[in-house]
Structure 1
């Protein structure tokens, strides 16, 4: 009788251990088994990052067992710092800012970001110098002495503004500088407190579209020789334009662009990042139906202009697709 009781007790312990083991192991191939929730830091509500981040968060939540949430932020530079601090898992950023961060240059001098890897690039981030017809501003040189928003302190937009002014022989000292986000920049133009604003974002940008509803917009063109000079000095730039018809402008405005990209904390597992990458790029056609920038989001283009080492999980996805840098 004692022997039978011992075997029953042993069997009960084994069974209980198996149940507890199953409860304690989240061995789900759809999320990699080590994370249940992620935050995606984006940008201001008037830009492109935030609405796209919401789309990405829904795709990740729908396609994996990970609950994802898009969070507003000060965009590129702030996002890199947020990932460094471990306060989010995924971030939108500009390719140039990501490069500065991992190399410890410019605004990241002495504050190098070493825990971030790339998921992939998304679409061109167009540098738009926005003003109105009534301002009389027709060239970059015309910005001298004017009240100009150059983007929030530490932002990618601010770095772009500084570099573009540089090749035109100007510095921030030549302007009356304001450090505003996209929404406050366009509001300032509308109420007359600022004359122009640098806005680095995918076109059309929501904040500028809102301004165009009440004002005749001008996108200040950059001359071809200056575009070539910018690209020669800073190779992460590429030729771009704001097409005619955008914001109601009559002619295309030549300018330059960097790449918008997604980066991720390197401590996320290969499985988690693989599934996140797959959820986004396998659904590029669906993204295109809900946001204009979706037409640029393609797996075959996602490794162009990275400037940051690819996360192993993202690499696994692109390897399966036969896509390499």
Structure 2
């Protein structure tokens, strides 16, 4: 399974799913550490991974060879700055040093879209690519002035090194702009007060996170994965993340990506 960065949202889910599937006789699930969505798609299309996580907005229209197993979580976009930073909005990133994640990641692709929606272009700031594990400490030490990343909230690997020494910038208006340009794959959502150093609620952009499979994955394996998602959903909740649990009936809302036939048949068996 193509997962994600060590300590990040994608990778944590991959390990939980692998543990839940440990007793399956039909297959063995081995999580792979990757930069994120873009490499996950490459690995699946190259036949080096049978399944993988992906942000729905990074898929584009070329879905050849891929199918959905289910929508597993909503991912929350988080623009973080040091607690005492003078930056109050996305426009304030101009002239600053900013991390948008690893170069080969869906995180960076979406981050550039969010910034563009606010009128901030790549040449307006200095980009410093960082993995999620280095992001919290880089914000606290001033290595970067801001970081835009995605995941559950709070993201433990960021909160562990930054705690309440960082705060989030409101992105709510950008969600509406992204919806107008790219469609409903982008949703307006909110992060509650008390996350990181934020005293109040913060509006942000939400994107569905999908579990994908190669189209040639056997129906038996795809169906077994659905059985795990439905019957073992409590084992797939990341307790340290707020809002990361998923409603099993939302698993089939896959942002326009067709369900794998084996997955579709198993959902019909569960829900009629």
Matched, 1:273 2:234: no
User: Runs of 5+ in structure 1 lacking a partner?
Assistant: 1-39, 105-112
Instruction: Kindly tell me the number of residue pairs found equivalent between the two proteins.
Output: 271
Secondary structure of residue in 1 paired with 2:81: strand
Aligned to 2:175: 227
Give the drift of 1:185.
Answer: 2.5
Q: Partner of 2:22: helix, strand, or coil?
A: helix
After TM superposition, list the pairs within 5 Å mapping 1:35-74 onto structure 2: 40-74=1-35
TM superposition score normalised by structure 1: 0.78
* Alpha-carbon distance between aligned partners in 2 of 1:223 and 1:52, rounded to the nearest angstrom: 26
Matches within 5 A, 1:131-150: 131-150=81-100
* Aligned partners of 2:58 and 2:110 also within 8 Å: no
Separation in 2 of the partners of 1:305 and 1:268? 18
Change (3 A) 1:160 1:295: closer
Is 1:188 aligned to residue 138 of structure 2?
Answer: yes
Partner of 1:115: 65
Q: Give the TM-score of the pair, scaled to structure 2.
A: 0.92
Aligned-partner Cα distance in 1 for 2:219–2:92: 50
**How much is the aligned-residue C-alpha RMSD, in angstroms?**
1.9
Contact 1:90 1:263 in 2 (8 A): yes
CA distance in 1, matches of 2:39, 2:218: 24
Q: Is 1:165 aligned to residue 115 of structure 2?
A: yes
CA contact (8 A) 2:139 2:162 kept: no
Instruction: Specify the alignment match of 2:54 in structure 1.
Output: 93
- Per-residue deviation at 1:289? 7.3
Distance 2:243 2:70 in 1: 14
More helix by share: 1
Gapped runs of 5+ residues in structure 2?
Answer: none
Is 1:155 the counterpart of 2:127? The answer is: no
> Relative contact order (alpha carbons < 8 A, sep ≥ 6): 1 or 2 greater?
2
Tell which deviates more after alignment, 186-195 or 167-176: 186-195
Contact kept? 1:281, 1:297, Cα under 8 Å: no
1:24-35 equivalent positions in 2, closer than 5 A = none
Q: Is this contact kept in 2: 1:281–1:298, CA < 8 A?
A: no
